[in-house]
Amino acid sequence: MTEKLALVVDDSRVARMMLCKLLQSSGFSVVEQGSADDALVWLETAEHSPLIIFMDLMMPGMDGLTATRRIKNDSRWQSIPVVLCTSNDSEADKLSAHDSGVLALLSKPPESQQLQSILTALSSVTVSQEQIPAAAPTPTPSTESAPMPSIDEIIAEAEQQLLPSWLQQAQHKSEQVSQQIAENIARQMIDEKLLGLADKLSTELTEQVRGAVQEKVQQQLNTQTEQMQTLLLEKAADAAESAMQNLNQSTYWQQQVTSQTERWLTLQQETIEQQLLTALQPRIETAIAEQLADSVDPKAESLQQDLAQLQLMQNQLVKRQRMNGALLMIALATGVFALLQINLF
């Protein structure tokens, strides 16, 4: 009885672990190799050939199809069934696997039911090979021995047993791929509609936000304009009130200066008149006495001339005092006007 030994060749440690677990649950001993080159080296040195080889399709270095062809071209291993493990069991992969002498395709990750179908077919082929020599009669000179089945017959029988399962799996995969394509197309259409709707909503939201921002900005500008106008009006009112107050103050001070000037001029006039009377009193008395004594007209004429000169001097002094007052008023008005300009600007 041949030992149930299986060779698993895969560069993925996780994939090897999953397949080894399923094979061990089916009573197989498993040898793991991480590449096709390592698998060929192991076959060269192994004491016992495996009952079945599980070969990964895509691996760094030598791929699974190349390794399978080398195994099938070697007379030592060409009778060992090879199962190709792939995650993309397309029609091209199936044709390439069939041309390379692959027994079956196993999907990755492996499904327990699919693996059991392959192992069941392998067991029936193995049992047939073991039972044929035992059922043959004892060879005699007159009896011919039954011929051993060829490798092609074994492969054809395995294909007959595995083909329905293979076709069913292929149909299932095809349906899955079709459903996936339909889902992708539907998702793409939904994405396109959502993208168009998002663009439309983005445009509408942008316009709404722009309008709201412009309205807010206009309101803010109007509010600031009103505040500025109110502030300017308040400033103008304050300036006008200040000007009026200054004007009232200037009028008050003008009246005060005028009043003081008139008082001063009246006082000066009275003082001058008093001084003139004081100065002229002796002369007047002397002139009156002399007039009375001598009754000479030339003295009266001289006295009248002196009085006229004194009156002329008094008038000139009064004019001078009034001119000084006028100049003082002009200087005061100039100062008040300058103060008004400072307050206004």
Indicate if the pLDDT at residue 126 is higher than 80.
Answer: no
Q: Is 56 helix (H, G, I), strand (E, B) or coil?
A: strand
What mean pLDDT do residues 276-285 have? Answer: 75
Q: What is the DSSP letter of 53?
A: E
Question: Which residues pair with residue 54 across a beta bridge?
Answer: 8, 83
Question: What pLDDT, on the 0 to 100 scale, is given for residue 44?
Answer: 94
**Residue 68 near residue 100, CB atoms below 8 Å:** yes
Is the predicted pLDDT of residue 22 greater than 90, yes or no?
yes
Q: Which residues pair with 4 in a beta bridge?
A: none
Q: Yes or no: say if 223 and 290 are a contact pair by the CB < 8 Å rule.
A: no
For residue range 135-189, what is the model confidence (pLDDT) as tens digits? 343 343 333 334 555 555 555 555 555 554 555 555 556 556 556 655 666 577 7
What CA–CA distance (Å, rounded) separates 58 from 93? Answer: 11
Give me the pLDDT at residue 255, please.
81
Q: C-alpha distances in angstroms, 189 versus 180, 185, 196?
A: 14, 6, 11
Quick one: average pLDDT of 200-207?
Answer: 70
Domain residue extents for the chain: 1-135, 235-344
| Amino acid identity for residue 173 in this structure | K
Of 2 and 238, the structure prediction assigns the larger pLDDT to 238
pLDDT given at position 10: 95
Strands (E) in the chain, as ranges, are 5-9, 29-33, 52-56, 82-86, 104-107
- Per-residue pLDDT reduced to its tens digit, 35-77: 999 999 999 999 889 999 999 999 999 999 999 999 999 999 9
Which range, of 31-35, 129-133, 213-217, 315-319, averages the lowest pLDDT?
129-133
Look at the domain 1-135 and name its fold: Rossmann fold (3.40.50)
- Over residues 76-86, the pLDDT tens digits come to 999 999 999 98
Helix (H, G, I), strand (E, B) or coil at 72: helix
Predicted confidence at residue 165, as pLDDT, reads 53
Distance between CA atoms of 91 and 56, rounded to whole angstroms?
Answer: 17
Please state whether the peptide bond connecting residue 133 to the residue before it is cis, i.e. omega within 30 degrees of 0: no
Which of 305 and 115 is assigned the larger pLDDT? Answer: 115
SS3 call for 157: helix
What pLDDT score was predicted for residue 125?
Answer: 59
Please give the mean pLDDT across all residues of the chain. 75
What is the band of 18 on the pLDDT scale with cuts at 50, 70, 90? Answer: very high
Local confidence band at 9 (pLDDT 50, 70, 90 cut-offs): very high
Give the side-chain half-sphere CA count within 13 A for 283: 14
* Percent with pLDDT over 70 in the chain: 65
Q: Minimal CA–CA distance to 80: which of 111, 101, 106?
A: 101
